[in-house]
Amino acid sequence: MKMKQLTIALIAAGFGLALGAGFNRIDTHVLGTANAAVSPPAVVAPVAPTAAARLPDFTALVDRVGPAVVNISTVGTTKTTGFGDEFGPDNPFNEFFKRFGGPGFQVQPQVVPMRGEGSGFIVSPDGYIVTNAHVVDGASQVTVKLTDRREFTAKVVGADKRTDIALLKIAATNLPAVDLSNPPSVKPGQWVIAIGSPFGFENSVSAGIVSGVHRALPGGQMTPFIQTDVAVNPGNSGGPLVNAAGQVVGVNSQIYSRSGGFMGLSFAIPAKVAENVAQQLKAHGKVNHGRIGIGIQGLDQTLAESFGLPDSNGALVGSVEKGSPADKAGFKTGDIIRKIDNVAVTDSTDVTSRIGNMAPGKKIDVEIWRDRKPMTLTATVGSWGSKEQVASAGTSDASQGNKLGVAVRPLTPDEKREVGHDGLVVENSSGPAADAGIQPGDVIVRVGSTKVTTIEGLRHQIEKAGKNVALLIERNGHQIFVPVKVG
């Protein structure tokens, strides 16, 4: 049975864990002819280590960075379902009453204490500490323990859930600290170590390499995560990821696991993102994220070919918020963002993280691909609101025509008023359209950058599109481009 993959936030209630292991020694012998003389075993001379054969030694690195890493424990409350006082939470008949009920047996919410544990690291000698926002989320009391065993009650200066970074402050001076002011870049293959408190084991050290950069995870659209194979587990959250030079390159945040424990995939927030957020939290107690108000999705080769692109780098604009900075700058559905301030865009995560971490009011030049040629638009970055989009990434859905394998009809006047625009409703889907994920009820809005309102118009656009076509469809109020192979 295929197990569901889970993204696990690295914080857990503290508990003890004992491990034991044993092994048997097995002696091997070489079988020779009978009565053969037995020679004494040869002594193998030690081989002088070479630079290539020598394994990395992180002791000096840990001695330098380790004192700045702290253990964080939290106390809070959460609501749970239980019965009234007349039965008590430990009554053995609670499960029976939950299943079968009865007069007077009503389930009531109860407030129960909640404890958590995580990690963090000191970024200034006067007591500022960086950790994950989810480590202190909902906490009424936060306690920081240093490596010298001193404990302090910490104040949460601010927490930013969009990047999962929080800043704490303790009343102490002359503390060991790491420098986060000039974060280095990272590349796959580099050695890195993590220091933290997995399962409450304080200042545990694990090592590995950078497996990948610029990773997108659910719920982390403003964060281009660093992927490593460093063993991190619940309780490592908020601890530093450090390179071989002793520089903090990331903040350990999440694991990707089927079991709830480490399985070779751990993810860290880049130090550059953490430093930017920490500075804003220190100055203002909150973070002002940039936005321009577009919905975007990634490109694959089929979509890129349908728009006449030479490669699949960039992000496809699926929607433009009315009155947003993008709308005012002239962005249109079907544009493909190729560069921001003359720096190439690789994918949709690149756009969301770069714009999301820009300061509102900044003017940016965005090179787009429209009608099979490049052009540049200038936009002023706005600020994030409760209903506003920076540039939200989407996922795939569907499209039409005889070559497509769909039957369509125009929208009725009532349907037009409901969706707010014109289009064609898919009534049946088969062949290439069905393979692409198109379903009955989807509304085809555009073919490429061209609006379609009639069946004849759709057929015309499909005929001239070639073997690949990008269809903008709307489903459940969301629009997305879907690549369809018709050739």
Q: Catalytic site residues?
A: 134, 164, 237
The structure tokens listed for 415 are: 């349907």
How many Cα atoms within 13 Å fall on the side-chain side of residue 400? 31
The residue assigned the tokens 């600020």 is 383
Q: List, in sequence order, every beta strand (DSSP E) within 161-291.
A: 165-169, 191-196, 204-215, 225-228, 240-243, 248-257, 266-270, 290-291
The Cα-based distances of 260 to 6, 165, 263, 373 in angstroms read 8, 22, 9, 48
Is 355 in contact with 381 (CB distance < 8 Å)? Answer: yes
Structure tokens, 201: 């084991």
- Sorted by sequence, the CB contacts under 8 Å of residue 84 that are 6+ apart come out as 106, 108
Q: Which helix (H) or strand (E) holds 23?
A: none
CB atoms within 10 A of CB 176: 16
Q: What is the DSSP string of 415-468?
A: HHHHHTS--EEEEEE-HHHHHHT--TT-EEEEETTEE--SHHHHHHHHHHH-SE
